[in-house]
Amino acid sequence: MLLIVTVIVVFIVLALLNTSGTAACRWREDRTVDTEGLSYWRCHVCGATEKTAKGRPPNVCRAPR
Ligand SMILES: [Zn+2]
């Protein structure tokens, strides 16, 4: 029984990770851009750019698919 529960939990965790909007994105902060107190992020997988509150990468990927 414990094994079955463990397998189910692992599948749920993997499903949550795969449906995340940033699963394919690699956000990197660009400190050379002046954003008036915000952080400027660039995804070097798809090329999307985003500004967020200081120090936190975006939650979603903005790139067209
Ligand atoms: Zn991206």
Instruction: State the distance from the centre of ligand 1 to the C-alpha of 45, rounded, in angstroms.
Output: 5
- Domain membership flag for residue 42: yes
- Domain membership flag for residue 7: no
Question: Which residue segment(s) compose the domain that 41 sits in?
Answer: 26-58
- Domain membership flag for residue 19: no
- Domain membership flag for residue 20: no
Is the pTM value of this prediction over 0.95? no
- With a pLDDT cut of 90, the percent of the chain lying above it is 6
Instruction: State the distance from the centre of ligand 1 to the C-alpha of 34, rounded, in angstroms.
Output: 21
- Domain membership flag for residue 65: no
- Domain membership flag for residue 43: yes
- Domain membership flag for residue 2: no
Question: Cα separations (Å) of 14 from 8, 17, 23, 33, 60?
Answer: 10, 5, 11, 35, 18
- Domain membership flag for residue 14: no
The total of structural domains in the chain comes to 1
pLDDT, position 13: 67
Instruction: State the distance from the centre of ligand 1 to the C-alpha of 38, rounded, in angstroms.
Output: 19
Structure confidence by residue, pLDDT tens digits, 31-41: 898 778 899 99
DSSP state of 1: -
